[in-house]
Structure 1
């Protein structure tokens, strides 16, 4: 219990100390008008209050990732909690802050456009393809996961035998509506309430297990085991843990979501609370579920059995019902189900906006929004027929690779502004090493090379990319960036 609280305290301290430092490095301008006002269109660019934007951002980025990822990561033991804390403070929250604030500074641009401005057109085209693929995978994962969870809940409680296809159709229908209507009609109106439910549910579960007579919060583990790989399947901790726990530590998916709220944020000074703060909030959620997974089943062997009997969804269901009873457990379970649904619709919404930017098609008219959105849903519907495990594996790698691109983009921005680029370059080097090592070593998705060879190649590749970005970016002026939005904002401020 004590070291769980220490982890939470570290995250909160990270927000106030390191978050303030990151904000200072970036350099906010409270007098600069944000895209919510300069491009206000009543559809995607809509000013919303600070608290509302924070809660929507939290729900947008918190799909099943900060729950399923930490549950699977918990199989490695308490080391998962250490990565959540360090990754969140020094990598994930920094990544989210820069992805959001660079979008604000560039007129609400999506991540491929931002990448293109600071890393060149080649990177822009790569990110356009990669971001769309990632968002489609996210959309499919966040259809299949909640559909399966709801179906299991209904069948478990009623015994009616409802097919999962029914829920897939219902969720897809909702996604279509939420993707094309103005952002303040559904997302801005209801998601803050869902955000409050998410927080209430997480606190309720961790409180319940803290006072439980049957379970002890992390009572079967020693703090020294934070540095030990306890995986019962004898899987190596490096680099798989850093791919498995994505959304609770660092996630490229967030870079695709932050521009949604960058288009609604009223002032640059709100950026630390909205972007850095939402990631810290997600880190706390990830810690809670990691601790629950480690504690409720007594050991990593018990957790392994629970996962084998129904995946991480079974862990969520069993722990919710077991700690809060049927009524409270169902409410908590539904709070978890809300997460992927509220991220799935914004994944498709982000895809629509990225495509619209690429084809330079305005999105104020309903017809244009449908033209961009409907093909995405057709492809997504086809992908739901692919095995969930395969989709999740590709999602994990694509997700962290997108995070790497965003971190290098932020480094290029800081270098060109002669600011302290190491705050993004160091996590970029680490995550690049993780991704290269993983794809070279993994026999299912990659090349199956020995771990030592893969790690050396990953480290050398990361250092090479670092040298390239530093050499390419350092000393280049703002004229070469063609950063029209910053120029317009500067004129308005003057």
Structure 2
């Protein structure tokens, strides 16, 4: 089957998933527009600012995207059409559920940050753990999304990397302390619209140039050192499910105009990101004849090289530059909200109101001093754990959603099943990976499955005791 057919079927499946499975999310959460949102009851002109649902959706899309739906799917394309299957199923049944409940549970808790949402349903110990864990995740994202875009911009210009690092940090600082509708609320919808136009342009060029309708590529098994289980489910994160999203959802929970807007804003943004991931995974498959050629391109310059090669080929020099600039915008528009999320998380933990500017500076100045220091440190070893830590965070949020549903006497399986699956993924990965226990894949898979089964059994036993 030609690559274009895979893409068309996958996009149609995403739309159907939103329309059908999204209804189940609404039935479970029971949003009520008569119940005022934090943007209405706690408006402070800084973080709690009521905005139109369309703007909140576009901001949420950029908040969660980063380079995840580009770089991850390009790496995932090594697995051929199976990457598309995971993106579709992950977005509908795991990532969409994760994002919707992380956002709506924050709405119901006055827009509080992720640690408080998790602590409400998984206990005080988990709250304390998440206060540290989620803060480390967003800080790592914020720092990496300074250095990464700075290198890309330096490659396109004659300006040194360090100059771009300073410029990006300065922008991040302003976006972190200024009211959300001053910078983010005005610029993000424009950037998000440009991102969607870029995606449509690349897709159209894929068909016009004949790559989408040509003969199916000779796509065999992925390289031997890249087992599909569990690596595919760690590699493609933001395009299917990502714990980082849950750290960003509270930002928009404080801006949501009404509860029924939560479905398009949170679940819908995940589906839209899944569509972006499908496009880039298809580009990786369509423009390289086999996994070995794609792996060679990645080895020569990472996923960024694939972006630099594919974009001009499909859209010409000018269109290619615009497409590459779109990829640069993605990490920048997640990096600034990562730091903003870190500020709000710290403020919630310490109980520091953020209406006054000097209180925001009290947190932001040392936070950025730490970020600037980390940007000069080679923390490559730490970053190797990020993919796994990110999915662990997503798993904990799914278990939080399952606990919320079970506590309310509702149907918890839409959350507990993907939570169990992701538990198996994370446990298997850390047992098998060289950065973990370095066990054989067979042994690691049995251990991962056992951890998932035991976790689900513990969850069900607690549900029965509370019934």
- TM-score interval for Structure 1 and Structure 2 normalised by the shorter chain: over 0.9
> In the alignment, is residue 89 of structure 1 matched against residue 80 of structure 2?
no
Mapped to 1, the partners of 2:54 and 2:215 lie a distance apart of 36
SS in structure 2 opposite 1:48?
Answer: coil
Is contact 1:90–1:427 with CA below 8 Å preserved after alignment? yes
Of stretches 367-376 and 68-77 in structure 1, the one that deviates more from structure 2 is: 367-376
SS of the residue corresponding to residue 309 of structure 1 reads helix
Q: 2:66 maps to which residue?
A: 63
Structure 2 partner of 1:464? 454
Equivalent of 1:220, from 216, 219, 222? Answer: 216
Matched residue SS, 1:17:
helix
Question: Is the CA contact 1:34–1:266 (under 8 Å) kept in the aligned structure 2?
Answer: yes
In the alignment, is residue 180 of structure 1 matched against residue 177 of structure 2?
yes
Distance in structure 2 (CA, Å) of the matches to 1:452 and 1:271: 41
- Which of residues 437, 455, 474 is equivalent to 2:428? 437
1:463 positional shift: 2.1
Contact persistence 2:217–2:289 (CA under 8 A): no
* 1:358 aligns to 2:361 (yes or no): no
Q: Which whole-Å CA distance do the structure 1 matches of 2:165 and 2:89 have between them? A: 36
Distance in 2 (CA, whole Å) between partners of 1:249 and 1:376 is 30
How many residues are paired up? 464
Q: Conserved in 1, the CA contact under 8 Å of 2:6 and 2:81? A: no
Match of 2:406 in 1: 415
**1:415/1:473 contact within 8 Å kept:** yes
Q: Is the 8 A contact 2:86 2:240 kept in 1?
A: yes
* Structure 1 unpaired stretches of 5+: 155-159, 478-494
Stretch deviating more after TM superposition (456-465 or 388-397): 388-397
Flag the 1:476–1:363 CA change in 2: closer, same or farther, 3 A.
farther
Match of 1:193 in 2: 190
Q: How far 1:147 sits from its partner (Å)?
A: 1.2
TM superposition shift of 1:287: 0.3
Give the corresponding residue for 2:443: 453
Seen in structure 2, the aligned counterparts of structure 1 residues 392 and 68 have a Cα distance that, compared at 3 Å, is farther
Instruction: Identify the residue that residue 251 of structure 2 maps to in structure 1.
Output: 260
The one of 37, 42, 47 aligned to 2:45: 42
* Equivalent of 2:79 in 76, 81, 88: 76
Correspondent of 1:320 among 304, 307, 311: 311
Cα distance, 1:467 vs structure 2: 2.7
The answer (yes or no) to whether the contact 2:91–2:241 under 8 Å persists in 1 is: yes
Q: TM-score scaled to structure 2, two decimals?
A: 0.96
Matches within 5 A, 1:127-138: 127-138=130-141
Asked if the contact 2:5–2:212 (Cα under 8 Å) also holds between the matched residues in 1, the reply is no
| Alignment check: 8 A CA contact 2:198 2:326 kept | yes
Q: Aligned partners of 1:110 and 1:467: how far apart in 2?
A: 29
Task: Provide the secondary structure at the position in 1 that maps to 2:66.
Answer: coil
Deviation at 1:392, TM superposition (A): 4.2
Give the 5 Å matches for 1:39-438: 39-154=42-157, 160=158, 162-213=159-210, 215-216=211-212, 219-221=215-217, 230-232=221-223, 234-387=225-378, 390=381, 392-438=383-429
Query: CA 1:370/1:70 → structure 2, altered by over 3 Å: closer, same or farther?
Result: same
C-alpha contact 2:104 2:253 (8 A) present in aligned 1: yes
Q: TM-score, normalised on structure 1?
A: 0.91
The SS at the match of 1:304 is helix
Q: Secondary structure at the match of 2:228?
A: coil
Extract unaligned runs of 5+ from structure 2: none
CA 1:198 to 1:390, structure 2 compared with 1: closer, same or farther past 3 Å?
A: farther
CA RMSD of aligned residues (A): 1.6
Question: Could you tell me how far apart the structure 1 residues matched to 2:110 and 2:335 are?
Answer: 24
* Cα displacement (A) at 1:461: 1.4
Distance 1:110 1:346 in 2: 13
Q: Is the 8 A contact 2:47 2:179 kept in 1?
A: yes
Greater CA drift, 278-287 or 309-318 = 309-318
1:11 aligns with 2:2: no
Residues in 1 aligned to 2:214 and 2:116: alpha-carbon distance in whole angstroms: 44
Q: Distance in 2 between matches of 1:447 and 1:253?
A: 25
More divergent stretch after superposition (357-366 vs 392-401): 392-401
CA distance in 1, matches of 2:445, 2:359: 46
